[in-house]
Structure 1
Amino acid sequence: MANKESFPLHRCIFRNDVDSLNKNLKDEEIKKLINQKDNHGNTPIHLALMLDRRNCILSLLRNGCDVVSRNVFEWNPLEEATMLGDVDLIEKISKFKFRDYCLYFNKTGSDGTISKLDEWNKHLPYCYYKGQLKFKSKIPLLNKIGLKDVLQFYKNENSMRLDTGIVGFDLHGIPRIIHGSLSIIINRLDNGLSQIYMLDNKAKRYTELFPYIPQTVHDHFVKSRIDVKTLYKFFVDNSDLSIKKKTPSGFGFKSNKKRTIRINNKKYNTDLYKCKNISIVIRKRDNEQPIGDFISDIKTTVADIDKSRNKIHSSLTSELNNMIILDNKNIKGIDMDDIFKEENGDNDSESDSDSDDSDIENNDNDDKSVSSHGSSAEKLIEADNDFKKFIDENLYTLATVESEICDKVVQMIIKGQNEQGNAIEKSDIIYIDQILPTFYEAYLNSKRLSDDDQKKFEEIINTTVNSTKDKFGNKKKENNEYMQNFKKSENVSSMVHNLAENYYNSTSKKHNNTSNKFKNEEIKRVPISEEEYFDPSNTKSLHLGRKMEISEEKRRTKKALKFWLTKENSFPLNINDHLKPVIDFLCSLLYDQINGRLYDSNYDRSIYIKTIEYIFEQVEATKRFPLKFEVPVMASTALQFKLIDVNTDKKCVPDSKFKIPDNYIYDESVEFRFSR
């Protein structure tokens, strides 16, 4: 194709010539280029969104353009539309995106590839899973949320059903889980789409979620995307990823009991594997405004924004983990800085916390960085003297009050000076409370001091720490920024965005300084002609039409993801055959890859494949199956899931499970609730 004729659809968009675009899209050969990337990594829909060519965007959407894939800057069309702020476009793109999700999972590809559902059916046409989901934490606020549920999943070839007892969040006062009985039923249709229903089993009502999407669902989703000032993107750097099988510690029966899990009244011995050394890259895009048909003026702390990530490995838990961990340091006992804090060396001598009823207190050895907290009005005290640095160096030991280190720290406080003879200040005492909020109460309750010292120590704590708290141990000023952001959430999407915004703004001091630096800088309006943009020798990554600021933070954690896997060939299922299609599907959603073709050059996909191959090789995926896993959420907090029952008999998944009961009433108001 001649240079002048290259990228015909892009050229129409560049000129804002919608008539020529529509004419070209009627040509079957040219229409095949509807998702073609130009020399700068932009598809037609990306270019149209950047330049706010609304009529061109609508024409591309009508002709089935890809609304999922990312450009070279890692933004997908919905994210570009969100920053554009066009409500109609956000609604249309989100509908098409969800449609593409269904087609990817259900429909056989034109290139001969089978759907993920058919791939799954080859090895597991029928199955029933029952498992317990448990959120474990030492942090009082998170414990009061009370996340604990039994999940049941049914699959009968082309139909699936999920039953849960969590039906929403109550955001009045301290957030809590709303318990009830909710079901999601998915039935595959002949056209490759799915019919999806949500059932409220207590109220005996149901609604259809897809293909007919209730207006209330639309409104909630679109509302969460309107007036968004900041976008967050999450990547995972697993270049130092390690998978290790934990050697059992302890002796005899107790040690073996921790590794034995009962499934359907049968005991299975398991091996504990730990997945460590994952870094999270958080990219923030904000302070954006349109500047017309000019090269985007990107103020960034990243040297080369489109090549900023290391040669990283990806994992299934990447964005899922990110969604869960987006909390703010204002929760009592938490500072997100410490969650990702880089630790010095591995600690493989930790307690496993792998018994069924074990609490998170037994699981702290993975965390050398114990978290801290502060109110929205307070700045966290920094470790600026020898005493505070001593506390930092012994955080893990201090988590157990019955230790010599704890005794030493308490005696320093009582005497009013450290080992170097320097005075213990009020800020030093508060510092311990910030990073270990239960330390003083636990030590006083342990009665390790003489009566005189106990009385003196209690008086010191009451005058320096407890005077700022109410009778429940919470900061008196409870109406903090975290709670406000949590309560203004309309749905899961807006909750994640609100918490992300609060977390990033409260921890990114470096970025804030950078933002102030850019604040008064004049916008650069660098023009670019059609010839320059489509010049084959110009392969620089380009974003057009916007002024924005972009910054990144890389946070590392060595907290381990834990997996309890069955012994070799002792279980009727294995990871490779019976779970991999689902893992592939979820990762394709997370990395916006569902419209990618197998022969496309895609960096994220190749890294994902290599990572999965590495993990599967380490855990012998063709011989084992996970009966339990534990995901670190934040310091001293974990999300645990354990299988209770597994069955692959067709009799366990009757057709009636995937039908709406006759006595249920259609009601569009059925939804996952956010009560405020």
Structure 2
Amino acid sequence: MADNSDFGDFPLHQCVFKNDYKRLSQQIRTHDVGQKDIHGNTPLHLAVMLGRKECIQLLLGHGAPIKVKNLQGWTPLAEAISYGDRQTILSILRKLKQQSREVLEDRRPSLIRALKHIDDFYLELKWDFHSWVPLVSRILPSDICKIHKRGPCIRLDTTLVDFNDMRWERGDITFIFNGEAPPKQSLTVLDNKQKVFQRIRYQESEMELEDEVDILMCSDIMAAQMSTKNITFSRAQSGWLFREDKTEMVGNFKADFYGVNNMTLESRKRREHLSSEDIQKNKAIIDNISKGGWDNCEFDRRQSLTPPPDPDVKWEEYISCSPGIPPVLGRVPIAKENSKSFRATMAMSEEFPMTVEVLLDVLEVVAPFKQFQKLREFMTSKLPPGFPVKIEIPVFPTVSAKVTFTHFEWKTNLEDELFKLPHEYREDPNRFPDL
């Protein structure tokens, strides 16, 4: 076994820092490849910031985690975009997709079991964006989603298809999730007007990954988080002269209304990797997206940036800095922070048949993510009594998003046909190019 007495508490980090690939290949067999140092950096963070390409590939080959953030809130992918080496960004992005699939597959059996234990039901929810500006309201979407759940299967029906020429394209679309089908066949989308279906792709093609790298390299590096720590609820009031607690019917359910206070979205962006021309193009790209999606945006294949100067920093200097305040190792950050407060409205009904816990179980099956446990703790411990039958949150100064649960009933006789592909439908793998 290799002697690591001179490599302290972070042997992999030191190997990377000193660009000692041979020593790293020995140490990586017996040490945690995802270990964080005092600054929250993993060995992969350091390898990316320092441009150690051989170390990067070795760490990725041994399963170095991609989603992990350092104390400054940045992942290895974010640091790779800043450094600007195209092949490194592509390798890390590919590994990120792979790790996400593996996590989902590891969780899949337990999630499917949880779904089977939930009684079958039918649910309708309405979601819409609205504005007090008339011309804006005309192009904002709204829809009533119909959700059927039977055993390990979920069916969702919607009427929104696409967004083109500043208008939402209406149609008749169905998503069918079959928990007992192989992963590559578990999620299917149907166009009920054209009578075609498309399997949701389980893995991106190399061309799609290359396109995503182009987008990452010419866009701001973004990080955002919504903290639930300081959120409080206060009863909403109604009436002009005689104020009283607001209670109204939401669908068929009597609900108490609450104000949601201290919702703060903290966002940061970095753009040290962008030229002045890139920054000007970004605004045009955002305008194009708002008018028709990525299809109207053209990207040239981005070339790797000139590497930043090699930092004149020794390991001892780096590791002795105050935690979370390391010296600059890669490109000098050009960062901007923003904090925005929201005041949302929520209607809670104790008459709604479904509980918050059951809703969370369903959501975790169809949209599992790393922070789900935090959401579960918040919704089961902090919410006022009842079920959130209506939620309204401002997303822009003039635009609010609203979700309303309009109908719910437990079902014991849902037909098998609801969750099967109709025989007359044909497969069209290109019907929904963005899926």
Relative to the length of structure 2, the TM-score reads 0.77
The superposition leaves residues 50-90 of structure 1 with CA deviations (integer Å, 9 ceiling, x where unpaired) of 12223322332232221212111111233223334444544
Map 1:189-268 to 2 at 5 A. 195-214=186-205, 217-218=208-209, 220-228=211-219, 230-236=220-226, 241-249=231-239, 259-262=248-251, 267-268=252-253
Map 1:664-675 to 2 at 5 A. 664-671=425-432
2:16 counterpart residue number: 13
Measured in 2, the distance between the counterparts of 1:650 and 1:78 equals: 47
**Matched positions, count:** 414
1:43 counterpart residue number: 42
Measured in 2, the distance between the counterparts of 1:538 and 1:74 equals: 16
The superposition leaves residues 269-318 of structure 1 with CA deviations (integer Å, 9 ceiling, x where unpaired) of 111122023233332212248xxxxxxxxxxxxxxxxxxxxxxxxxxxxx
The superposition leaves residues 449-492 of structure 1 with CA deviations (integer Å, 9 ceiling, x where unpaired) of xxxxxxxxxxxxxxxxxxxxxxxxxxxxxxx9977632156986
1:176 counterpart residue number: 167
Measured in 2, the distance between the counterparts of 1:117 and 1:658 equals: 16
SS of residue matched to 2:353? coil
Selected match of 1:580 from 360, 378, 387: 360
1:541 counterpart residue number: 325
1:400 counterpart residue number: none
Asked if 2 retains the 8 angstrom alpha-carbon contact of 1:131 and 1:151, the reply is: yes
Measured in 2, the distance between the counterparts of 1:198 and 1:176 equals: 22
1:136 counterpart residue number: 130
Asked if 1 retains the 8 angstrom alpha-carbon contact of 2:236 and 2:246, the reply is: no
SS of residue matched to 1:547? coil
- Find out whether 1:646 has 2:408 as its counterpart: yes
Map 1:6-155 to 2 at 5 A. 6-25=9-28, 27=29, 29-30=30-31, 33-104=32-103, 107-108=106-107, 115=110, 118-119=113-114, 122=117, 124=118, 126-155=120-149
SS of residue matched to 1:39? coil
1:301 counterpart residue number: none
Asked if 2 retains the 8 angstrom alpha-carbon contact of 1:12 and 1:20, the reply is: yes
Asked if 1 retains the 8 angstrom alpha-carbon contact of 2:360 and 2:376, the reply is: no
Letter in 2 for 1:486: D
Measured in 2, the distance between the counterparts of 1:545 and 1:556 equals: 33
Measured in 2, the distance between the counterparts of 1:193 and 1:530 equals: 46
Map 1:546-585 to 2 at 5 A. 546-557=331-342, 560-567=343-350, 570-575=351-356, 577-581=357-361
**TM-fit CA distance, 1:243:** 0.2
Measured in 1, the distance between the counterparts of 2:422 and 2:55 equals: 45
2:287 counterpart residue number: 486
SS of residue matched to 2:55? helix
Who wins on radius of gyration, i.e. which is larger?
A: 1
The superposition leaves residues 387-428 of structure 1 with CA deviations (integer Å, 9 ceiling, x where unpaired) of xxxxxxxxxxxxxxxxxxxxxxxxxxxxxxxxxxxxxxxxxx
Map 1:247-326 to 2 at 5 A. 247-249=237-239, 259-262=248-251, 267-288=252-273
SS of residue matched to 2:331? strand
**TM-fit CA distance, 1:546:** 1.8
Measured in 1, the distance between the counterparts of 2:8 and 2:96 equals: 30
Measured in 2, the distance between the counterparts of 1:157 and 1:639 equals: 31
Measured in 1, the distance between the counterparts of 2:271 and 2:335 equals: 7
Decide whether aligned partners of structure 1 residues 584 and 488 sit closer, same or farther in structure 2, where only a CA change above 3 A counts: closer
2:277 counterpart residue number: none
More helix by share: 1
Measured in 1, the distance between the counterparts of 2:51 and 2:282 equals: 34
Measured in 2, the distance between the counterparts of 1:657 and 1:140 equals: 39
Letter in 2 for 1:280: L
1:164 counterpart residue number: 158
Decide whether aligned partners of structure 1 residues 237 and 5 sit closer, same or farther in structure 2, where only a CA change above 3 A counts: closer
Q: Where do 5+ consecutive residues of structure 2 fail to align?
A: 275-279, 297-307
Decide whether aligned partners of structure 1 residues 564 and 232 sit closer, same or farther in structure 2, where only a CA change above 3 A counts: same
Decide whether aligned partners of structure 1 residues 656 and 534 sit closer, same or farther in structure 2, where only a CA change above 3 A counts: farther
2:302 counterpart residue number: none
The superposition leaves residues 573-618 of structure 1 with CA deviations (integer Å, 9 ceiling, x where unpaired) of 211x2133467789984xx658xxx9xxxxxx6xx787556523xx
**TM-fit CA distance, 1:167:** 1.8
The superposition leaves residues 349-384 of structure 1 with CA deviations (integer Å, 9 ceiling, x where unpaired) of xxxxxxxxxxxxxxxxxxxxxxxxxxx9xxxxxxxx
CA RMSD across the alignment: 4.2
Measured in 1, the distance between the counterparts of 2:247 and 2:322 equals: 60
Measured in 1, the distance between the counterparts of 2:406 and 2:419 equals: 22
Decide whether aligned partners of structure 1 residues 486 and 80 sit closer, same or farther in structure 2, where only a CA change above 3 A counts: same
The superposition leaves residues 431-459 of structure 1 with CA deviations (integer Å, 9 ceiling, x where unpaired) of xxxxxxxxxxxxxxxxxxxxxxxxxxxxx
Q: Where do 5+ consecutive residues of structure 1 fail to align?
A: 290-375, 377-479, 496-522, 599-604
SS of residue matched to 1:78? helix
Relative to the length of structure 1, the TM-score reads 0.52
The superposition leaves residues 606-633 of structure 1 with CA deviations (integer Å, 9 ceiling, x where unpaired) of xx787556523xx02xxx1122221222
Decide whether aligned partners of structure 1 residues 106 and 545 sit closer, same or farther in structure 2, where only a CA change above 3 A counts: same
2:305 counterpart residue number: none
Measured in 2, the distance between the counterparts of 1:664 and 1:89 equals: 42
Asked if 1 retains the 8 angstrom alpha-carbon contact of 2:247 and 2:257, the reply is: no
Selected match of 1:627 from 389, 402, 410: 389
Percent identity between the two aligned chains: 23
Map 1:496-507 to 2 at 5 A. none
Decide whether aligned partners of structure 1 residues 214 and 657 sit closer, same or farther in structure 2, where only a CA change above 3 A counts: farther
**TM-fit CA distance, 1:37:** 0.5
Measured in 1, the distance between the counterparts of 2:76 and 2:156 equals: 30
Measured in 1, the distance between the counterparts of 2:171 and 2:158 equals: 8
Asked if 2 retains the 8 angstrom alpha-carbon contact of 1:216 and 1:669, the reply is: no
Letter in 2 for 1:572: P
Decide whether aligned partners of structure 1 residues 217 and 659 sit closer, same or farther in structure 2, where only a CA change above 3 A counts: farther
Measured in 2, the distance between the counterparts of 1:552 and 1:612 equals: 28
Decide whether aligned partners of structure 1 residues 17 and 188 sit closer, same or farther in structure 2, where only a CA change above 3 A counts: farther
Map 1:326-337 to 2 at 5 A. none
The superposition leaves residues 149-189 of structure 1 with CA deviations (integer Å, 9 ceiling, x where unpaired) of 1212333443334332222211x3xx221222333333446
The superposition leaves residues 549-571 of structure 1 with CA deviations (integer Å, 9 ceiling, x where unpaired) of 122233334xx32222213xx33
Measured in 2, the distance between the counterparts of 1:87 and 1:615 equals: 44
**TM-fit CA distance, 1:41:** 1.0
More strand by share: 2
SS of residue matched to 1:107? helix
- Find out whether 1:527 has 2:294 as its counterpart: no
